[in-house]
Chain A
Amino acid sequence: MKRARNARVELLQGTLDLLILRTLLFGPSHGYAIAKHIRRTSEDLLQVETGSLYPALHRLEAQGWIAASWATSEKGKRAKYYRLTAEGRRQLDAARAKWEAFSNAVGLVLKPAEGERS
């Protein structure tokens, strides 16, 4: 399995939470599927380390933003599935708004001004 090392981006803890919540918006899934989804959707740029993923999942579960239950996977094995709670949905909207504001702000600073060489 190749990894796109050169494009690895470091994720802040808050951002990882945002990604997880967003992923779960599509429906419940287990930890491995979430990681795979994030990797695929970001075109291999974001590779979530297992060492950060599971602590993050459990933290979110502790906070009540996601809920967990054990179910059988499509391959017939027992796995822990996470799903978004109502509170999690609200937090997702809030986090998303914050992220967009943040990225807008950074973009404004980075945008070349009129007449400035880029």
Chain B
Amino acid sequence: MRRLRNRLLWLSRRRRREAEIRAELEFHLEEETEEGRAAGLNETQARRAARLDLGNPAVLQEDIRDAWGWAWLEHAGQDVRYAGRLLRRRPAFSGAAILTLALGIGGATAVFSLYEPLFVRHLPVERPEEFVRLVEPGKPDLFREVFTLATHDWLRAASRTLSGVISTTRSSGGEITVDGQPRPANQQFVSDNYFDVLGVGAQRGRVFHEPGAGLSDPLEAVISADYWRTAYASSADAIGARFRDGNHEYTIVGVAQPGFRGVDIDVPTDIWVLVDQRLAPADEYRTRGRFVRVMGRLAPGATPAQAAAEVSAILGPSFEVADGAIGYSLRLRERLAQPLLLVAIVVGFVLLIACANLANLMLAGTKARERELSVRAAIGASRMRVVRQLVTEGLVLASAGSVLALGVAAWINGALLGFLPPEDAGALPNLRFALDAGVLGFAALLTCGTCLLFTVAPALRTTGRLDRTGLKARLGARRRGYSRPLGRTLLVGQVALCTALLIVAGVLVRTLANLRGQDAGYVEDGLLVADVQPPRSLDGDARKVLLEELRTRIEALPGVEVAAFSQLGQLDGAIVFSIGFPDRDIPEDELPTVFEQRISTGFLRAMGNPVIAGRDFTDDDTATASHVAIVNQSFARQFFPGEDSLGRRFYRAAGRFGVEGVRGSPDGEPMTIVGLVHDSKWVDLRQAPEPMYYRPYRQMGGTEEVRFAIRTSDAASVVAGEIRGLAQAIDARFVVENVVPFREIVDDTLVIERITAHVSTAFGALALLIAAVGLYGVLAYNVAQRRPEIGVRIAIGARPRMIEWMFLRESLALLGVGVLLGLPVAIAITRFVASMLYGLGPQDPASIATALIVLTAATVAASYLPARRAATVDPIQALRQE
């Protein structure tokens, strides 16, 4: 302790201690001189003897300083200052290096900042690593993590390995009414021990505790800190405030601790409500409805394996447990896993290319400093010392780059999140860029890693060839310092990585283009959509009348060509039913399933998918007229192959769980097919169209919401106002939302594709630029080095063309080798993400060809200037240099 204190004190009084050392040695010198004089020597001799005894004062002072143990720090400080001076003298190089490093490190950090909250970050609860989730892997996606309340009750009562078992519904967006005004809020129903088991407390009021309050009046709710801030401006009035949800009245009893947003990453929860308060213990829905997730905290000493075994024993063999520390994320985790990985690979490549570039430039740059480094070696610097100096230069560059990188990362993170459609936007608070320990740590680690990558090898190379015995003549020292094999390897590596990147970018861009450009059975341009809800209090028939009224009025607007509506919007899904045929005898469990869609008159025209045979629905197809249907080509092909489907009949059998999980009712009456349309895509752009039939909206039960499709050349904002006005005029309780161009709906389904295409293109272009600049730099340097040689060649008769070609040939050779190495890497990556591609295979020739052309063009462009300069070398000048 004392030792450290002394050393720290020493460090702090730098100037004074320098003076002290000098004074101390001076004193010693004087004493010895005096002694010499006392022994009989004269002043000069005595002084000389004393000096000889003292030895080299500089070395002595250095040794004394070393004794305090801070030598390494002082050296580091010197190195940093020196590096700073050096880099300031080469602003173009330094600037370019810092910029490329910033982009590379920033990109990687941005990817990390998205990856970490989704896949790594633990929930902000007490000891999150102790949590496990209940899962049933055999079930389809939707039900894998969702169970009945009875399951939760059972497990909670019987489990020994789990000290606490909680249940939660999916946090989902909804609407509550506060003081008569509707307000969006994400709600979650939870078990009474939710907060206790998680270890989350209240910052105001109280949270739920076990046992629950039972059916109090009004019911109790706990709100999140974020919601408290946005809805109540963090005021104390929030406690005791009331709101309505449907038919239930709630009062807020507390605000959860800051930073806690529930166990869902996708949708941060605003309001927590006890599930027991909505479902009494005896309610049969507890055993029938699967709608809660079940999580448990491991008891002290219990392992996940034990919990898994116990769960299987209690609930059944199909049940297992999974890690619960990272919370639930149904959509985002699955959707973003592969794209994030792809982006990570892309960014990683860019970073490697940048490092290779910098390494090459450092190699070339140190050649010019060979003299200086030789001097250092000559006066006693060890090889390690010089290497440390060079590495420090790299570190200064990398650090400057990493500071910028944080800003770049925030920007890229924001740009990527900007692609997310509104429905996923709720997750933003969890995903937004934040300068937390994880991000900073990652950036720092990456900085050191990249610095080492691009400084150590060149530094060792350069210092290994240093001439320590003196400064040899320049003749013959031409090729030293810049190691051609290493430089070439780096270039080849860069080209290989660029090849891979460009090919990957190519297939992703083509995928997006294919998805967008395909004939999906509708015409995108000039199409607007809107979500319309007729007044809820009306019954089905009354709603149908109002909707029809609205439709006619909208169609009557100037500028509107066609107005129509469908039950679900195009690309939003369709409902699945089984059908049967009156003239065919098919057993009930083998009935085929098809999509059904209820549409108004004019819908097919509005979507740009006109009837190709037979007729469209008309106003005559009322509820009392005979039941008709229009089918698509897939339907006709599957059920009436080779025949005319018009006039044929089929009926709808019992409904099954469809895409939206809606149960349909049996409908016995057969429908007659009156029209045929082209296939169109209803679920998503990748899936092939399914057999489907359309029914007139008037002939079916009314629904709560419809999606209007309006063909117009006017802008959405204009039309939105007009529609709302019309709706209000008909009935003030109409709700009109989300009036957007249909293109936006399409874009929202293509989020992943857009992200990956844009990112890979942007970074691919960046990588190409970096590599091209690197190639140019190295070539220019090479030409300068070989000027004497070129001069000789020209002097003995070589033509300029030949010189040009000589250098160009080298570049093309590097390109060739690089491409050969990069192709397998590219194919490996595209194979790995083959599931993300559409309309092309992993070895898409068009993408490969394009990438090669672009690379060749870039190589030639980068090599052109240096090659030309080589050709215009004046032989006499060059030889004089010799």
- Residues of chain A touching chain B, judged by Cβ–Cβ distance below 8 Å, are 1, 30-32, 49-51, 54-56, 58-59, 61-64, 70, 73, 77-80, 87
The stretch of B66-74, B102-110, B340-348, B374-382 in contact with A is: B66-74
Q: B23-36 toward A: CB 8 Å interface, digit per residue (1/0)? A: 11101101110011
Complex CA distance for A25 and B375, rounded to whole angstroms: 47
Q: Which of the residues B3, B24, B69 comes within 8 Å of A64, measured between beta carbons? A: B3
- Residues of chain B touching chain A, judged by Cβ–Cβ distance below 8 Å, are 2-3, 5-7, 10, 20, 23-25, 27-28, 30-32, 35-36, 39, 49, 53-55, 59-60, 63-64, 66-69
Do residues A62 and B7 form an inter-chain contact, with CB atoms below 8 A?
Answer: yes
Do residues A62 and B3 form an inter-chain contact, with CB atoms below 8 A?
Answer: yes
Q: Which of the residues B30, B32, B64 comes within 8 Å of A58, measured between beta carbons? A: B64
Complex CA distance for A79 and B24, rounded to whole angstroms: 6
Complex CA distance for A78 and B30, rounded to whole angstroms: 11
Complex CA distance for A80 and B31, rounded to whole angstroms: 13
Q: Which of the residues B10, B24, B35, B53 comes within 8 Å of A54, measured between beta carbons? A: B24
10 A-B pairs with least C-beta separation? A64-B2, A58-B67, A59-B67, A32-B31, A55-B63, A55-B67, A51-B55, A80-B24, A32-B28, A79-B27
Complex CA distance for A54 and B59, rounded to whole angstroms: 12
Knowing A55-B63, A77-B30, the reply to whether A1 touches B49 (Cβ < 8 A) is yes
Do residues A1 and B64 form an inter-chain contact, with CB atoms below 8 A?
Answer: no
The chain B residue with its CB closest to the CB of A50 is B54
Complex CA distance for A80 and B68, rounded to whole angstroms: 17
Kindly list 4 other residue pairs between chains A and B, CB separation below 8 angstroms, not including A55-B64, A64-B5: A32-B32, A50-B53, A55-B66, A62-B10
Chain A residues with CB under 8 A of B24: 30-31, 54, 79-80
Shortest distance from the beta carbon of A2 to any chain B beta carbon, whole Å: 9
Chain A residues with CB under 8 A of B23: 78, 80
Knowing A32-B32, A50-B28, A54-B24, the reply to whether A61 touches B55 (Cβ < 8 A) is no
Do residues B27 and A62 form an inter-chain contact, with CB atoms below 8 A?
Answer: no
Knowing A50-B54, A62-B6, A62-B68, the reply to whether A80 touches B27 (Cβ < 8 A) is yes
Complex CA distance for A109 and B741, rounded to whole angstroms: 101
Q: Which of the residues B6, B54, B66 comes within 8 Å of A61, measured between beta carbons? A: B6
Complex CA distance for A62 and B31, rounded to whole angstroms: 25
Complex CA distance for A70 and B24, rounded to whole angstroms: 10
20 A-B pairs with CB atoms under 8 Å apart are: A1-B35, A1-B49, A30-B24, A32-B27, A51-B60, A54-B28, A54-B60, A54-B63, A55-B60, A58-B67, A59-B67, A62-B10, A62-B68, A63-B2, A63-B3, A73-B27, A77-B30, A79-B27, A80-B20, A80-B27
The chain B residue with its CB closest to the CB of A80 is B24
Do residues A54 and B3 form an inter-chain contact, with CB atoms below 8 A?
Answer: no
Q: Which of the residues A1, A50, A77, A87 comes within 8 Å of B39, measured between beta carbons? A: A1
Complex CA distance for A67 and B67, rounded to whole angstroms: 15
Do residues A30 and B10 form an inter-chain contact, with CB atoms below 8 A?
Answer: no
Complex CA distance for A56 and B64, rounded to whole angstroms: 8
Shortest distance from the beta carbon of B214 to any chain A beta carbon, whole Å: 69
Shortest distance from the beta carbon of A21 to any chain B beta carbon, whole Å: 16
Question: What is the interface of chain B mostly: helix, strand, loop, or mixed?
Answer: helix
Do residues B39 and A62 form an inter-chain contact, with CB atoms below 8 A?
Answer: no
Do residues A30 and B68 form an inter-chain contact, with CB atoms below 8 A?
Answer: no
Complex CA distance for A64 and B4, rounded to whole angstroms: 9
Complex CA distance for A64 and B24, rounded to whole angstroms: 19
Chain A residues with CB under 8 A of B27: 30-32, 73, 77-80
Do residues B60 and A50 form an inter-chain contact, with CB atoms below 8 A?
Answer: yes
Chain B residues with CB under 8 A of A51: 54-55, 59-60, 63
The chain A residue with its CB closest to the CB of B35 is A1
Complex CA distance for A73 and B5, rounded to whole angstroms: 28
Chain B residues with CB under 8 A of A49: 55
Complex CA distance for A78 and B27, rounded to whole angstroms: 8
The chain B residue with its CB closest to the CB of A63 is B3
Do residues A54 and B20 form an inter-chain contact, with CB atoms below 8 A?
Answer: no
Knowing A1-B39, A50-B54, A62-B67, the reply to whether A87 touches B28 (Cβ < 8 A) is no
Shortest distance from the beta carbon of A44 to any chain B beta carbon, whole Å: 14
Do residues A64 and B20 form an inter-chain contact, with CB atoms below 8 A?
Answer: no
Do residues B2 and A87 form an inter-chain contact, with CB atoms below 8 A?
Answer: yes
The chain A residue with its CB closest to the CB of B63 is A55
Shortest distance from the beta carbon of A65 to any chain B beta carbon, whole Å: 9
Complex CA distance for A62 and B69, rounded to whole angstroms: 9
Chain A residues with CB under 8 A of B7: 62
Complex CA distance for A87 and B3, rounded to whole angstroms: 11
Chain A residues with CB under 8 A of B35: 1
Complex CA distance for A11 and B32, rounded to whole angstroms: 22
Chain B residues with CB under 8 A of A63: 2-3, 6
Complex CA distance for A30 and B54, rounded to whole angstroms: 16
Complex CA distance for A73 and B34, rounded to whole angstroms: 14
Shortest distance from the beta carbon of A70 to any chain B beta carbon, whole Å: 8
Do residues A50 and B55 form an inter-chain contact, with CB atoms below 8 A?
Answer: yes
Shortest distance from the beta carbon of B188 to any chain A beta carbon, whole Å: 61
Complex CA distance for A77 and B60, rounded to whole angstroms: 22
Shortest distance from the beta carbon of B241 to any chain A beta carbon, whole Å: 65
Do residues A58 and B3 form an inter-chain contact, with CB atoms below 8 A?
Answer: no
Complex CA distance for A87 and B32, rounded to whole angstroms: 31
Do residues B64 and A54 form an inter-chain contact, with CB atoms below 8 A?
Answer: yes
Shortest distance from the beta carbon of B563 to any chain A beta carbon, whole Å: 88
Complex CA distance for A55 and B61, rounded to whole angstroms: 8
Chain A residues with CB under 8 A of B36: 1
Name, among A1, A49, A80, the residue most crowded by chain B CB atoms within 10 Å (CB to CB): A1
Do residues A54 and B6 form an inter-chain contact, with CB atoms below 8 A?
Answer: no
Shortest distance from the beta carbon of B23 to any chain A beta carbon, whole Å: 7
Chain A residues with CB under 8 A of B20: 70, 80
Complex CA distance for A77 and B30, rounded to whole angstroms: 10
Complex CA distance for A87 and B67, rounded to whole angstroms: 19
Shortest distance from the beta carbon of A80 to any chain B beta carbon, whole Å: 5
The chain B residue with its CB closest to the CB of A51 is B55
Complex CA distance for A22 and B170, rounded to whole angstroms: 79
Shortest distance from the beta carbon of A108 to any chain B beta carbon, whole Å: 35
Complex CA distance for A27 and B220, rounded to whole angstroms: 81
Do residues A54 and B30 form an inter-chain contact, with CB atoms below 8 A?
Answer: no
Complex CA distance for A32 and B49, rounded to whole angstroms: 15
Chain B residues with CB under 8 A of A1: 35-36, 39, 49
Chain B residues with CB under 8 A of A78: 23, 27
Shortest distance from the beta carbon of A49 to any chain B beta carbon, whole Å: 8
Complex CA distance for A118 and B69, rounded to whole angstroms: 48
Chain B residues with CB under 8 A of A55: 60, 63-64, 66-67
Do residues B6 and A64 form an inter-chain contact, with CB atoms below 8 A?
Answer: yes
The chain A residue with its CB closest to the CB of B65 is A58
Complex CA distance for A49 and B32, rounded to whole angstroms: 13
Chain A residues with CB under 8 A of B6: 61-64
Complex CA distance for A31 and B54, rounded to whole angstroms: 12
